[in-house]
Amino acid sequence: MKESMKDINGKGDFLIRFGQAHESFRLAEIEALARIAGVELEVVSYSPSVKKTSINSSSQTPFTHVRLPSVSSAKQIISRSILAQSVHELWGQGDSLSLLHDDVRKSSSHLFARYEQATFRFSVDSFQGSRTKKEQVDLINGFSFVGFEGPIRMKDPEETFTIFEEWEFDPYRTSSRQEGGKGKKSNAVINRSSSTEPKKLYLGRLISHSSRYLITQFDLKKRAYISTTSMDAELALVTANVSLAAPGKLFYDPFVGTGGFPLAAANFGALVFGSDIDGRALRGTAGWTGGTLKPEERCLRGNFEQYGLKGRLGDVWVADLANSPVRTGRGERWLDGIICDPPYGVREGLRILGHRNPPADPSPQVDENGVEKHKKPDFIPPKRPYSFHLMLHDILQFSFATLVDSGRLSFWMPTANDDDLEIPVPSHPGMHVVSVCTQPFNKWSRRLITYRRRSALEMEGETLRKDFEEYMAQMDEARRKERDVREGGGRQADELNPFRKAYFSTERRRIVEEARETMTPALGKLEFKYPDLAGTALESRGEEKSLYAEVLNYVNYVVLYYLYKIERVVVVMDGGRVAEDESPREDLAAKEDSSLAKLLAEERAVGSLKEK
Amino acid sequence: MKILTLNFLTCAVKACKSSAASYPLHPQEVELAKDEMEYNPQAMLNFLLRLDWAALRMTATELGFATLPEEMPTAEDLQQDELKMRQLHELLLETHVVSGKLVCGNCGHEYGIKEGIANFLLPSHLV
């Protein structure tokens, strides 16, 4: 049994009720919010985070017991949280209902009188379980010993008390209502596991709801201007929280796109800046829209206007992070936070300024009239592929050079789930890793990595200086290698991008093999999965000798479909956006000219089809 | 582009970073406008200390604004002087360059500003 709920330091015990998503982000967010509030947070109990490769984490408890200095600090922290649903003053807990009753009596009886006359309501929140109305009423009536005399208000009561239950995960559990005999799902009762009581219970007094409503408010579907790589609203807001966005702070996104991260940071009060190598993204001539807005509203600024945040938009400019105009090494470091989801070159190539094949003559290029090309108004500077690792280094080095002491960098990075292919968290001697949060998908994950800029004081000392020198030497070496690969003709994006390479080499091979298996019966016996497709084609020709050609067509079609499946995964990887329509046939035509067709051409080129 | 932002940016050419002449960039042929921004004195006090005051004075003078005092006002000064604070707010956050160019005093490269958005992309011979 727990000790008294109010310990000697005058700290209070609280229960955070999380939403059921993004488990590995929860503590990082709450700890960041405690830091913003300047409050000491003690996590009393939290089950270990889920395995990074597990998507199905439904058994992860959404209840976290924390200790905080005061009710107001609990409110301050959770009212800004995206991943929490609410915070409650913890009145008691127990492994069974009777133990919970005992604990409430023991720990919180001094509070009963305080709420004796208040309007109130009780509710039941069962995690992985459910209760009938009658069971709920019985549960609630079990707490009549608190002796509240105030009127019960279901709507807007002064105080809300919640009985939280945590049940063992049981896919066969049905509510007792169904058990009770409508007969519909009676077979489920047979499979029911032994757990007939929750494994843990809590009683809490509601202190504050969270900012989860912002997920709806910032929903991409309702945003005027987004692109295929826009981060979903929930994770953009979490990113802003983890990086400590707050009123008066200056935030910057060097890969700003349509402005999703700066919007989130501005919502929490920061003055935000952004840049992008693609000017169309800033001006609004790229991307698509869901509404009927005018072109001038369909741009990054339009998004800020849509949410009433224009007053917190500092500036946006067109620039390349590898050739950034942001001042460094001169004057004060000026940024409080850097947040971004860099392009990893999975879907769109990762590019920086420069020539693929630098001309021997380094002087400016001129046109036939002797005018320097770069001075013409429609000049588009050439860009070249770039290395994934060097870009990560650029981000870390840039952050180190521009963030104030203890300023935070939060960026997203994909990695394969396979241990052999996992890409380590990049390190920098001047940047301390604060948290690594993982969002798992089937074959890969993406991570939100947050760093804190070490202070000058921390950085003193011989060891660190050495670390620095070593690090810089490593990076120079990496840069040399990158140049060698590039100049040695290795200009394919894959060669500069280990993630892309690892992902595609394994994933594509697997999917193409799966496609071949599907195709084999088609080739052998003409047992088509889609008989109408083949049948129609054959009849229309009426010639037997085209049979082989038609089969090959079909085979190509199947391969294209499977390659399309890769494309879909890639879309998700690049920004969480998935095409609604999964029909392969319609996409055949629609995607004819897209990168998909190129992929197919590549597959053909390597002769994978010729074998058949 | 706001006057504030001009203070945080310099020439994108790597070779210019070490030259004092490359900062601040010199605005030329500019069209200026004013847009209302959220007045937040607390936020301003936060970032005023990070400004390069001499560079700000130069930019303001080149744009034809009344000269700023030689020394950066202290936080205490500003807290007591709302008028000064509002003037700075107007200059730093509300005044912005709609079009024109920014010229590097070292290499002479010109960065265009269109629709309030500056373009710092470099041709390949400067990368």
Rounded to the nearest 5 degrees, what angle is found at the Cα of A226, between the Cα atoms of A220 and A230?
Answer: 75
Q: In terms of CA atoms, which chain B residue is nearest residue A365? A: B125
Inform me whether the pLDDT recorded for A263 exceeds 90. yes
Residue type, B17: K
Q: What is the extent of the structural domain holding A349?
A: 342-359+383-496
Beta strands (DSSP E) in A356-402 are 383-385
3-state secondary structure of A12: strand
Inform me whether the pLDDT recorded for A378 exceeds 60. yes
Q: In terms of CA atoms, which chain B residue is nearest residue A336? A: B47
Do the domain assignments include residue A375?
A: no
- High-pLDDT (> 90) share of chain A, %: 44
Q: Is the CB of residue B121 less than 8 Å away from at least one CB of chain A?
A: yes
CA distance A516 to B104: 59
Q: Is the CB of residue B78 less than 8 Å away from at least one CB of chain A?
A: no
Q: Is the CB of residue A48 less than 8 Å away from at least one CB of chain B?
A: no
Enter the pTM of the model: 0.81
Cis peptide before A247 (omega within 30 of 0): no
A271 to chain B: which residues are within 8 Å by CB? 43, 47
**The two structure tokens encoding residue A541:** 């020709």
A199 with A220, same domain: the answer is no
Binned at pLDDT 50, 70 and 90, residue A464 comes out as confident
Here the contacts of A417-424 (C-beta below 8 Å, separation 24 or greater) are A417/A52, A417/A53, A417/A442, A417/A443, A417/A444, A417/A445, A418/A502, A418/A506, A421/A502, A421/A503, A421/A506, A423/A498, A423/A499
Inform me whether the pLDDT recorded for A612 exceeds 70. no
Inform me whether the pLDDT recorded for A78 exceeds 60. yes
CA distance A442 to A439: 10
The tally of CA atoms less than 13 A away on the side-chain side of residue A276 is 23
- Which residues in A229-251 are b (16+ Cβ under 10 Å) and which e? bbbbbbbbbbbbbbbbbbebbbb
Specify the number of domains making up chain A: 4
Q: In terms of CA atoms, which chain B residue is nearest residue A277? A: B121
CA distance A234 to A33: 16
Inform me whether the pLDDT recorded for A500 exceeds 80. no
- High-pLDDT (> 90) share of chain B, %: 68
Q: What is the pLDDT of residues A181-202, one digit of tens each?
A: 444 444 444 444 456 889 999 9
A282 to chain B: which residues are within 8 Å by CB? 117
pLDDT of residue A363: 82
pLDDT of residue A572: 36
A111 with A249, same domain: the answer is no
For residue A144, give the H/E element and its range: none
Q: Among A40-54, A126-140, A434-448, A593-607, whose mean pLDDT is lowest?
A: A593-607
Whether residue B124 and residue A382 make contact (CB cut-off 8 A), yes or no, is yes
A200 with A219, same domain: the answer is no
The residue with tokens 């001129």 is A366
The residue with tokens 């810089």 is A472
pLDDT of residue A556: 59
Whether residue B23 and residue A364 make contact (CB cut-off 8 A), yes or no, is no
CA distance A467 to A595: 43
CA distance A108 to A368: 86
Average pLDDT, chain B: 92
Q: In terms of CA atoms, which chain B residue is nearest residue A271? A: B43
Do the domain assignments include residue A501?
A: no
A230 with A190, same domain: the answer is no
Q: Among A113-122, A319-328, A456-465, B97-106, whose mean pLDDT is lowest?
A: A456-465
A267 with A415, same domain: the answer is no
Q: Among A323, A361, A403, pick the best mutation site for testing chain B contact (most B Cβ within 10 A).
A: A323
pLDDT of residue A589: 38
The residues in A 327-386 lying below 8 A from B, measured between CB atoms, are: 327-334, 353-355, 358-359, 362-365, 373-375, 377, 379, 381-382
A68 with A199, same domain: the answer is yes
Binned at pLDDT 50, 70 and 90, residue A102 comes out as very high
pLDDT of residue A309: 94
Q: Choose one of A496, A530, A550: the last residue of a domain.
A: A496
Contact A426, A552 (CB under 8 A): no
pLDDT of residue A94: 95
Which carries the bigger pLDDT value, residue A563 or residue B33?
B33
Kind of pairing, strands B26-34 and A431-440? Answer: unpaired
A590 with A520, same domain: the answer is yes
A93 with A229, same domain: the answer is no
pLDDT of residue A434: 97
Inform me whether the pLDDT recorded for A31 exceeds 50. yes
Binned at pLDDT 50, 70 and 90, residue A348 comes out as low
Burial class (CB within 10 angstroms; exposed 0-12, middle 13-18, buried 19+) of A463: exposed
A36 with A112, same domain: the answer is yes
Inform me whether the pLDDT recorded for A108 exceeds 90. yes
What string of DSSP letters covers B10-30? ----GGGTT-GGGSSPEEEEE
pLDDT of residue A454: 92
Q: Choose one of A496, A531, A556: the last residue of a domain.
A: A496
Do the domain assignments include residue A63?
A: yes
- The nearest CA of chain B is from the CA of A501 a distance in Å of 27
Q: What is the pLDDT of residues A291-329, one digit of tens each?
A: 555 666 678 888 999 999 999 999 999 999 999 999 987
ipTM: 0.97
pLDDT of residue A400: 95
Whether residue B115 and residue A283 make contact (CB cut-off 8 A), yes or no, is yes
What phi and psi, each to the nearest 5 degrees, are found at residue A409?
-115, 125
Average pLDDT, chain A: 77
Work out the angle between the directed axes of helices A547-575 and A595-605 (0-180°, nearest 10).
130
Do the domain assignments include residue A548?
A: yes
The tally of CA atoms less than 13 A away on the side-chain side of residue A22 is 25
The tally of CA atoms less than 13 A away on the side-chain side of residue A204 is 26
The residue with tokens 């509070």 is A111
Inform me whether the pLDDT recorded for A142 exceeds 80. yes
User: In this complex, which of B14, B93, B118 lies closest to A317 when CB atoms are compared?
Assistant: B118
Count of CB pairs separated by less than 8 Å, A with B: 128
Q: Among A126-130, A431-435, A600-604, whose mean pLDDT is lowest?
A: A600-604
Inform me whether the pLDDT recorded for A53 exceeds 60. no
The residues in A 403-422 lying below 8 A from B, measured between CB atoms, are: 404
Inform me whether the pLDDT recorded for A567 exceeds 80. no
A207 with A219, same domain: the answer is no
CA distance A241 to A243: 5
Do the domain assignments include residue A577?
A: yes
DSSP A559: H
Q: Among A155-164, A417-426, A486-495, B25-34, whose mean pLDDT is lowest?
A: A486-495
A447 with A522, same domain: the answer is no
Do the domain assignments include residue A3?
A: no
Q: Is the CB of residue A323 less than 8 Å away from at least one CB of chain B?
A: yes
| Domain CATH number, residue A287 | 3.40.50.150
Whether residue A279 and residue B119 make contact (CB cut-off 8 A), yes or no, is yes
pLDDT of residue A477: 87
pLDDT of residue A354: 86
Inform me whether the pLDDT recorded for A93 exceeds 70. yes
Do the domain assignments include residue A7?
A: no
Binned at pLDDT 50, 70 and 90, residue A398 comes out as very high
What string of DSSP letters covers A252-283? EETT-TT-HHHHHHHHTT-EEEEEES-HHHHH
Q: What is the pLDDT of residues A223-244, one digit of tens each?
A: 888 877 788 999 999 999 999 9
| Domain CATH number, residue A32 | 3.30.2130.30
Q: Choose one of A442, A470, A496: the last residue of a domain.
A: A496
The residue with tokens 């959220």 is B38
B121 to chain A: which residues are within 8 Å by CB? 277, 279, 318-320, 353, 381
pLDDT of residue B23: 94
Q: In terms of CA atoms, which chain A residue is nearest residue B12? A: A325
For residue A508, give the H/E element and its range: helix A498-525
CA distance B120 to B9: 10
A121 with A233, same domain: the answer is no
Whether residue A314 and residue B23 make contact (CB cut-off 8 A), yes or no, is no
pLDDT of residue A444: 77
Q: Is the CB of residue A311 less than 8 Å away from at least one CB of chain B?
A: yes
pLDDT of residue A278: 87
Instruction: Using alpha carbons, select from A19, A22, A82, A20 the residue that is nearest to residue A440.
Output: A22
Q: Which residues contact A27 (CB under 8 A, 6 or more apart)?
A: A43, A46, A49, A64, A435
pLDDT of residue A565: 54
Inform me whether the pLDDT recorded for A286 exceeds 90. no
Which carries the bigger pLDDT value, residue A10 or residue A573?
A10
Q: What is the pLDDT of residues A405-445, one digit of tens each?
A: 999 999 998 887 766 667 789 999 999 999 999 998 877 78
Inform me whether the pLDDT recorded for B120 exceeds 50. yes
* Residue range A533-546: mean pLDDT, rounded: 42
* Residue range A41-63: mean pLDDT, rounded: 64
User: In this complex, which of A248, A319, A324 lies closest to B43 when CB atoms are compared?
Assistant: A248
Do the domain assignments include residue A503?
A: no
